[in-house]
Structure 1
């Protein structure tokens, strides 16, 4: 019978935690700095937020335990939160899969180029995700006067007779935010996919040709995708997180609050109660709901992706 002080290794030999520590001490020490940072700045804040979500806390007075009142108010009395949930899920449903496919398709195409051209094209596609002036560019394009590029082109081509107030009309706000988010979406996942494609064992393609693979699509499905499964899973997590945590785009482009809350998301609602109203208990409840939505979505997507090429 295995005791609590023994660890069964992959070869079946039982060792004590101290023996495992002595054998892998160097590895544990290497990951220790990241583990401490992850614990202090991720794990502890998440659990602290969950605890605070059951309180009334304004940052000036001690938290007061109120049970499920914050969650009841969110789901029953807060109509704006329900709008934010609808916008966030709809936004994620559109931008999440499309941006994920964009990251893979562009990385797949770029991977076929020569090394120098590949490096340049990677920078070109990745640059928007780290650009600090991205919002300013799009605000200039969709400016509501005749000097905005979109209005100027539409006026010149005769499609409209007067400038369109893009960010003052509900029907334009959401499509523009989707467009901008897709433009910014070729980020870390894009780089991970390129790295994954570079690391696929080339001998697998030769073996695949012997086994009957005859075209690039068969190579993609039976060799490339299964070989890139870790990168695909990582990219899914990153794209889901990005699509569900949109706020800055909406605030910068559509204003805060946006017209008829057309660009309002869960994270902008969190920003409202956390940084403007300083109702930290209520804001923590919003953050907790968003956290579990992300966790649930990631679990589903990863289960689906694990079947790729299986």
Structure 2
């Protein structure tokens, strides 16, 4: 191995900056979190090994996690993940049908919200869902007679998670959306002509039999970005609620649970365990994406 390293030393020298950063900022924190998940640690005293007690507590005693964090994350991930992903593909396809002269302008208009996330949340959406008469949504609904009194959208647990989903989908047209839009340019136009000769009769069949198989690398990249963006979402709950806890935990996601135990309660061992659970969920979601869009044998 040493002789191989020496023969290829120039390649490893170029790889060294990335490998060092990846080890220090990815591998080391992950292994530290795995170790700390088996301990109880408050940030001041020496970690105390407790075995699987944290995992048992999560399943048997953590009512906030089982009643709010896990169901909310599943619902949030379903609508922001697969539904948002399908919407991203559909919008990218619609924009690609536009003339080239206006296609870039429309794409920029849809992509722009993902670049101004925090500002847009505080300025636009809090004003839109304001619970008084001047809130944009309340004003619109009252003007046309849909409601008689203002609704406290961001203070009501019945609406809060749904609002989170809408805002996240609106902000979800990020680099994955651009990758899909660029992916349509990679499809060989001759395949569509051959498909029509072979019996493809409509645009839906073209998408299913030609476009999607030809765009698998872009589809895979977009799905990975959607999974990462969905499962790491948590700040949106605090930004919309104006505090660390959403109304009656209605917008409490797994990442909010990690932040709660890590930065509010200083139970870093338990927070590390929850983050490892989230990492495992992310891993299986990634495996599903690779199974759906990854290259098959012979491709």
- Structure 1 residues not aligned, in runs of 5+: 6-15
Q: Distance in 2 between matches of 1:141 and 1:44?
A: 43
1:19, distance to aligned residue in structure 2 (A): 9.4
For each residue in 1:229-270, what CA deviation from the matched residue of structure 2 results, as whole angstroms up to 9, or x when unmatched?
111112111112222222111111124311211111111111
Tell me the distance in 1 between the aligned counterparts of 2:37 and 2:232: 19
Q: C-alpha displacement at 1:158, in angstroms?
A: 1.9
The one of 52, 71, 87 equivalent to 1:68 is 52
Q: Equivalent residue for 1:213?
A: 200
Count, aligned residues: 292
1:269 paired to 2:257: yes
CA distance in 2, matches of 1:160, 1:122: 35
| 2:127 matches 1:133 | no
CA contact (8 A) 2:42 2:267 kept: yes
Q: Does 1:49 align with 2:37?
A: no
- CA 1:218 to 1:35, structure 2 compared with 1: closer, same or farther past 3 Å? farther
String of CA shifts for 1:201-235, please: whole Å, max 9, x gaps: 33333443444434322322222111111111121
Match for residue 119 of structure 1 among 98, 101, 104 = 104
* Structure 1 residue corresponding to 2:217, chosen from 230, 236, 240: 230
Aligned with residue 248 of structure 2, among 236, 260, 274:
260
Task: Kindly provide the CA deviation profile for residues 129-174 of structure 1, in whole angstroms up to 9, marking residues without a partner as x.
Answer: 1113221211100111111111111222222222111122211111
Return the alpha-carbon distance in structure 2 between the equivalents of residues 156 and 114 of structure 1.
38
Q: Measure, in 2, the Cα distance between the counterparts of 1:222 and 1:29.
A: 44
- The gaps in structure 2 that reach 5 residues or longer are none
Q: 1:116 to 1:35 in 2, by over 3 A?
A: farther
TM-score (norm. length: structure 1): 0.86
Match of 2:141 in 1: 154
In 2: Cα distance, 1:286 partner to 1:187 partner: 27
Please say which of residues 132-141 and 109-118 is displaced more in the overlay. Answer: 109-118
Contact kept in structure 2, 1:89 and 1:244, CA below 8 Å? no
Using the size of structure 2 for normalisation, the TM-score is 0.89
Contact 1:50/1:288, CA 8 A, preserved across alignment = yes
